[in-house]
Structure 1
Amino acid sequence: MANPKRSGQSLLTVLLALGANIVVALAKTVAAVLTGSASMVAESAHSWADAGNEIFLLQAERRALRPQDELHPTGYGREAYVWSLFAAVGLFTAGAVVSILHGFSQLGTGEPDSDYLVNYIVLAVAFVFEGISFFQSFRQARSMAAERDTGTLEHVLSTSNPTLRAVFAEDAAALIGLVIAFLGVLLHELTGNAVYDAVGSILVGILLAVVAVVLIDRNRRFLLGEPAPDRVNQAALVALLQHPQVERVTYLHLEYVGPERVFLVAAVDLIGDDKESDVADDLYEVERAIERDEHVAEAVLTLSRRGAPALLPHDPDALEQR
C-alpha cells in the first residue's frame, strides 16, 4: 500500500485546490458576464477547467489506493496516471482551446469599455485564493524534494506522484494567468484598445496549452512504464546486497507502477550451494523481505547467469535517501 501520510497530504492538496477553483471560477464568471472582458472569459474557462480537473485527480487518488489482487499483483497505482491524463486533456480542451478561440473571436470586434474595477477586485481575490492553494502544493513539493536532496521544480517534473505535479502546475499556471489577465485589462483601460484584452485571453490559452501538453507527456511516460531514476536503483541495489542470503546482484530493473511504487526485477547469486528446491525457497524469502518496503509493489528474483558481471552500488547511503 502507498504511504497513508503522503496520500493524505495529496488529498488535502487536491481538496484545497478544488475549493479555491470553485470559488474563483464563480467570481470570474460573474465578472465576465458583467464586464464582457475577453481576459475574464478566458480566466473563467481556466478556473472551471481546473475545478473539473480536481474531480479527476480525486478519482485518481481514490482508485490508485485499491489493494493488490490476483488480477493486479502490482496494484492499481497506474490508475492515478489514467485519471491524471484525463485531467490534463480536460485542461487542454476546456481551458486552452476555449481561451484561444474566444480571444481570436474578440480581435477587431471593438469590445466596449468594461467595469474595470470589478475585474480588478475579482482578479485580486482570485490571486489570494490561488496563492493559498499554490502554497500548499509548493510546501508539499518542497518537503519531498528536500528528502531527495533535489530542487523543488525538478522534483515536480520527475515525481511519480501525478496529483502533486498536476495541482502544482495548474496553480502556478493560474497565478501567471491572473497576471496576464490583469495586464490585458489594464492595457485595455489605459489605451482604450480592446485588442490587449483579447490578446490576454489568447496568451492565457497558450499558457494552459503548454502546461497541459507537459502533463499529458509525463502521464504518458508513466503509463508506458517509467524506469526508476539512478537514486532509486542504487537504493534497491543496496537493499538487496544487505540481505544476508544475497551474495551479488547481476541484473536490476525497477519500473514505476504507481505513485512512489515500483515493480522490481533482479537476478542474484545466493550464498552457499543449496539444492534447487531450497534455492527457490530462498529466493521467495528475499522477495518477501524486499516487498516489506512500502515503495515496492512486487519483487521478482531469478538466479544470475554464470559469469554475469556483478552490479556494485556507487552510493552506500542511497537507501537512506530514498
Structure 2
Amino acid sequence: MAASPASGWRANIVLYAALAANLGIAVAKFVAAAITGSSSMLTEGVHSLVDSGNQGLLLYGQHRAKQPPDAEHPFGYGRELYFWAFVVAILIFGLGAGVSIYEGWKHVAAPEPLHNPLVNYIVLAVAVALEGTSWGIALKEFAAAKGEMGWWAAVRESKDPAAFIVLFEDSAALAGLFVAGIGIWASHHWGDPRIDGVASIAIGCILAAVAILLAREAKGLLIGERANPQVVACVWTILDREPRIMRVNHVRTIHTGPDRVFVAVSADFDDALTMGEGEALIERIEQELKAALPMLSSIYIRPEKAEDAPAIAAVG
C-alpha cells in the first residue's frame, strides 16, 4: 500500500522540523553577523545553512530509496540514502567545520571590534529556542525508535541514518550556539575581539568531531551491515524448528535499505526429501520468515551438505 501524504509527513517530521528551524536561523544569523561583525555568528550562519542543505539531501535520499527494484538495481535503491548520509558528513566536515575554523583563524589574525552585541544575543536566544524545539523532536523520535537499547548502542545498530544524523546535528548546533554566546560575551566584556575568533575555531572543532563520527557510521551502512542480532536470531529459530532441516550451516544478512534486508541461508536438508518436497519446504519457510520478519525483502535458501560449506559455516 502506498504511503499517504500524512504518513509521509509524519515519517519525516524530524527532517522537516530541522529544515524549517535551520533556514530561519541561518537568515537571522547572517543578518546579525553583518550588523555586529561577529566571526562566531558568521560561522554559526554557515553552520545553519549547511545543516539546511543536509536535511534537503537526506529528504532526497529517502525519496530515492523508496524507488522500486528494476533491472539495473534488483535489490532496490535503499542504499542511496546511505550514500547521501555520507555526503552529509563530508559537507559538515568540509563546509561547516572548514569555514568555521578558517573564519575564526582570520578573525584572530586580523581582529575587528564587535558592534552592538545585543543583536547577537537576541538572535542566539531565538536560535536556541528553534534548535531546541528541533532537537526535542529528534530526541523524542529516536528515543521511541531505540526502545530499551542504550543510546550509543542504538546509534551503532540503527540502519536509518536520517534519525541519528539530525539528532547529532542539532546537538552540535546547540553546543555551537552556547560557544558562540560565550565568545561574544567574553569579546565584549574584555574588549578583545580575538576571543570571538577562538570561539569560531571551537565551533569548527565541534563540527569536525560530529562529521567524523557520522562519516564512520555512514561508511559502515554504505559498505553493508548485517541485520540486527534479534532479526538474525529469529531466522535461526524458525529454521532450527524445522524437522526436515538437519543442520543450518549459516545465515547471512545485509541491509539493502533502512527497512529492507536480504538474507542468505545455507542448510543441510533431509536426504529423503524429493526435489518437489524440497521446493515446497523452501517456499513454506520463506512464507514463514516473511510473516515473522516483514523487512526481509529477499530470501535465498540453498540446500547444501554441512561438509560442503565448512568455511562458510565458520564465518557464519
Q: Using structure 2 for the length normalisation, give the TM-score.
A: 0.89
Equivalent-residue separation in structure 2 for 1:6 and 1:214 (angstroms): 30
- Work out the number of aligned pairs and report it: 308
CA contact (8 A) 2:268 2:306 kept: no
Amino acid at match of 2:305: R
1:70 to partner: Cα distance:
3.9
Take 1:15 and 1:36, find their aligned partners in 2: how far apart are those partners?
A: 31
**SS, match of residue 228 in structure 1:** coil
Q: What is the rounded CA distance, in whole Å, between the counterparts of 1:137 and 1:243 in structure 2?
A: 42
Q: Which runs of 4+ in 1 moved over 6 A?
A: 1-7
RMSD: 2.5
CA displacement 1:26-82 (0-9 Å, x = unmatched): 111111111110110110010000001111010111111122334333221101101
Per the alignment, residue 298 of structure 1 pairs with 298
Give the deviation of 1:288 after TM superposition. Answer: 4.2
- Rounded to whole Å, the distance in 2 between the matches of 1:223 and 1:251 is 23
Distance 1:216 1:207, change over 3 A: same
Change (3 A) 1:32 1:248: same
Deviations 1:146-184 (A, max 9, x none): 1xx211343134311011121111111111111111111
The residue type paired with residue 202 of structure 1 is I
3-state secondary structure, aligned to 2:12: helix
Aligned AA (1:151): G
**TM-score normalized by structure 1?**
0.87
Structure 2 CA distance for partners of 1:173 and 1:242, relative to 1, 3 Å: farther
- Once the two structures are TM-superposed, the CA of residue 111 in structure 1 deviates from its matched residue by 1.5
Residue segments in structure 1 that go unaligned for 5+ positions in a row: 312-322
CA 1:2/1:305 → structure 2, altered by over 3 Å: closer, same or farther? farther
Deviations 1:190-232 (A, max 9, x none): 1111121001111111111111121122111111111234333
Deviation at 1:246, TM superposition (A): 4.7
How far 1:238 moved relative to its partner?
Answer: 2.1
Instruction: Tell me, yes or no, if the aligned pair for 1:85 and 1:219 is still in contact at 8 Å.
Output: yes
Q: For residues 262-292 of structure 1, give each alpha carbon's deviation from its aligned partner in whole angstroms, at most 9, with x where no partner exists.
A: 2111112446722124313422342344234
Counterpart secondary structure, 1:268: strand
1:137-216 to structure 2, matched below 5 A, reads 137-146=138-147, 149-216=148-215
Q: Is the 8 A contact 2:267 2:306 kept in 1?
A: no
Does 2:261 match 1:267? no
Task: Provide closer, same or farther for how the CA distance between residues 68 and 243 of structure 1 changes in structure 2, counting only shifts above 3 A.
Answer: farther
SS of structure 2 residue aligned to 1:71:
coil
Alignment check: 8 A CA contact 1:141 1:156 kept: no
In the alignment, what sits opposite 1:315? none
**Identity, % of aligned pairs?**
33
Label 1:244 to 1:135 Cα distance change in 2 as closer, same or farther (>3 A): farther
Cα gap change, 1:60 to 1:98, in 2 (>3 Å):
same
Counterparts of 2:266 and 2:109, CA distance in 1: 67
Gaps of 5+ in 2: none
